[in-house]
Structure formats: structure tokens, C-alpha cells
Amino acid sequence: MNREIKFIDLGLMDYKEAWDFQQKLFDEIVDIKKKNRQDNTNIKTPNYFLFVEHPHVYTLGKSGNISNLLIDENQLISKNASFYKINRGGDITYHGPGQIVGYPILDLENFFTDIHKYLRCLEEVIILSLKNYQISGERNEGKTGVWIDTNTPFPRKICAMGVRASRWVTMHGFALNVNVDLNYFNNIIPCGLANNIVTSISNEKNKQEIDIVNIKQSLKKNFSEVFKADFI
């Protein structure tokens, strides 16, 4: 098993460009696995972990409902936002500046073969990272992602997740709201959940500007610990 992960910070990148890059890495891993199976070889499969921020974009998962996008094409243009139907699980979400999007492209056979465990591990990475900001992240039973105050009248979602996996290779991942403009979530029914209140680290810290570099470092550290992996 190869538990080394190559880390790449893509900075601010167009959604489609980042999606194509993800797909290239995903296909690379799948092709190696096919070759190993067909030729009875044992070539080590690589793992990747990408960070990126996207310009304003709404994405709809393969099981999502287009009616959860509440604005039309002209309104998208006026908000300088784009829209994509994509091949991850989940419904609709928003990505934009001030949000850290993490794309782990892993051969899970290097770690464990359990998609539910994989999602719980991603949630744990976020929960541990939020502790640095005295924010108690929580799981919300039956709902993927990380929330705050789930047992109160005002539960708030701080991190959305949606993944794709094939041949135990993953792509897509999580979107952690840090300094993001939350007004953009008013244009959708986030994750297809009515009355879903979305928040950010900044919003929970009285609009304080959060250092993106620090939270990225925390996410990497906790990802390494949760997945028992080394970044290269």
C-alpha cells in the first residue's frame, strides 16, 4: 500500500479547468489499476490531494434536482457565476472565493475499502480543524458534511461534501466555508435541503477575517493524521 500523498495547491482556478485536472489524475490511477489487474503487475498507485478556490460557480450532483437552483441563466451572468452538472454525489452547492475546496484523489485500496468510512474520515478532518477556532463541528445524522449546533433550533452547515468513487478511486471532495460571501447561497436550496442555513468560520467568529494559510495547514495536518498518510 502507498500512503504517500502528493499535495498540490491550485490557488484560484476555474471550476471546469480544475475538474479536468482532477479527471486526468483520476484516470491515471484507474489506468494503473487496470494494468496491474490485466498484466499481473504490482505498480504502485499514486494519491493526490488538491486545494483550490473557485470563481463563483454552482454545481449540481448527479442525483440533484435542477429546481434547487433558484436563479436563471441571465441572473447567473449578472452575478458573474457559472453552473455545471457534474458526476459527484449530492445535490447543489456553491463554490467561490474565500472557500477552501479539497479534492482528495486517492486509491482507497491504499487505505481502506469503505466509502462510508471515507466520508466519515473527511468529516473528521474538518471537525478537528475547526477546533483551532473554538468551533465545535458536528455530524448531522443522515446528512453528509459538517454542521454546527445540530441539536438546537438553528443548525448551520459549515462544510459540504460530495464525492465520486470508481474502482476505489476517489475524486471531488469537500468545500469548507472560511471567508466566503454567504449571500451566494441564497440563490440555491443548498444540498437540496429546505431551510438549510449555511455558515462560515468567519461568520461564526463575528465576521473576523480568517487566515486562509493557517486553515490550510491545519487541514493538511489533520488529513495526514486521520488517513495515516504522509504528504510529499
User: Catalytic positions, please?
Assistant: 191
Contact 99, 177 (CB under 8 A): yes
Q: What pairing do the DSSP bridges indicate for beta strands 92-95 and 57-60?
A: antiparallel
* Ramachandran sector of residue 168 (left: φ over 0; alpha: ψ -120 to 50; beta: rest): left
Contact 78, 53 (CB under 8 A): no
Residues 6+ apart with CB under 8 A from 219: 51, 100, 102, 125, 126, 129, 176
Which residues in 68-155 belong to E strands, given as ranges? 82-85, 92-95, 99-105, 138-140, 143-148
For residues 229 and 225, give the distance between their C-alpha atoms in angstroms, rounded to a whole number. 7
Segments in 7-139 forming alpha helices (H): 15-39, 73-78, 115-130
What is the rounded end-to-end Cα distance, in angstroms, of the chain? 16
